[in-house]
Structures are given as C-alpha cells and as structure tokens.
Amino acid sequence: MISSIGSAMAGMANAVSRFDRASAAIASPEPADPIGERVEQITAQHDFAANAATVRTADEMLGTLIDTFA
C-alpha cells in the first residue's frame, strides 16, 4: 500500500513536469505545435487527477486498517 502511494506521488510529479514543459512550449514566441502541447497539458492534468485518486484511496485504506487495529 505504501508503494502505491510512492508510485502515485512519482506519477503526480511526472504529470506536473509534463504540464510545465507543454506550458513553456506554448508560451514560446513561436510554438511548434500549440494544439499538440495543449493536448499534452490536458493529458497531464488527467494523469495527475488519476494519481491523486490513487493516493486518496490508499490513504482511506490505510485509515481503515488503522481503525481496525485500534
């Protein structure tokens, strides 16, 4: 369960990095592919949300496990 949180956190960091790279590419004076970069931003946003849901679920499971033993 802890490894799932670590994996999700790494996925969130990766999504933020991809979003930032796409944003920088769009903001450049002459973006090569603004539509493709916008698609990358949306994909990164969805990836971040999916990884955040994984963290949330793992946290809830860990809380339930702790409550069971308490």
Per-residue pLDDT reduced to its tens digit, 13-67: 999 999 999 999 999 999 899 999 999 999 999 999 999 999 999 999 989 999 8
Three-class SS state of 33: coil
Task: Give the CA count within 13 Å in the CB-facing half-sphere of 62.
Answer: 11
pLDDT at 1 over 70: no
Task: Tell me 70's DSSP state.
Answer: -
C-beta of residue 58 within 8 angstroms of C-beta of residue 9: no
The pTM assigned to this predicted structure is 0.86
pLDDT of residue 7: 95
